[in-house]
Amino acid sequence: MFNEPIFFGMMLVIMPVFGQRTLDNIMDKLTHKEMPLASVTELAVNPSYYRLDARSPEEFNISHLPDAHYIGYKDFNAIEFTQNFPDKEATYVVYCSVGIRSGKIGKKIKDLGYTNIKNLSGGLFKWVNDGYKILDTTGQPTQKVHAYNKFWGLLLNNGEKVYGKENQD
């Protein structure tokens, strides 16, 4: 049986040593297996994919992917989503910091009848670690990345880590 506290404790010790390989292992353990993954490269070369940000407003306002649409996590609204994104056949890639929250929101979107939903493998952290640009609220490139909290921030190797008030544990 999967023991989260022990797993996270072990990850805290080995993350700085193994970097991206550790992020991939965490994602394999914690993401929804029924949600297909999109790689960072796949998303970068497919401008027709809708990019959906499933983080908090604070995280989104610090930085987000180019052309991203904020849909939230705690405040995700299914009715609003179906009104704003009526094409149930389009490709939607949901992302968050590393892919856990976005997997959950992706499942909700899939349950609404959307047929091509993907979770961004490694999330925003992998996007930044791989050297792709992110934007601030004015649409300008930035190096600032909301690192969620100090634990998850260990997975972010590039960019300037920013920690918000809401996730300091």
Residue 142 pLDDT more than 60? yes
The confidence band for 168, taking pLDDT boundaries of 50, 70 and 90, is very low
pLDDT tens digit string along 66-87? 999 999 999 999 999 999 999 9
Which of helix, strand or coil describes residue 159?
coil
- Quote the CA–CA distance of 71 and 5 in Å, as a whole number: 29
CATH code, 87: 3.40.250.10
Lookup result for tokens 């600032």: 144
- Show the domain range for 122: 4-167
Say what the alpha-carbon torsion angle 131, 136, 142, 146 is, to the nearest 10 degrees.
Answer: -70
**Mean pLDDT over residues 103-132, rounded?**
96
Q: Greater confidence, 3 or 47?
A: 47
b/e for 137-146, b at 16 or more Cβ within 10 A? eeeeebeebb
Total structural domains within the chain: 1
In this predicted structure, what is the pLDDT of residue 1?
46
Which of helix, strand or coil describes residue 31?
coil
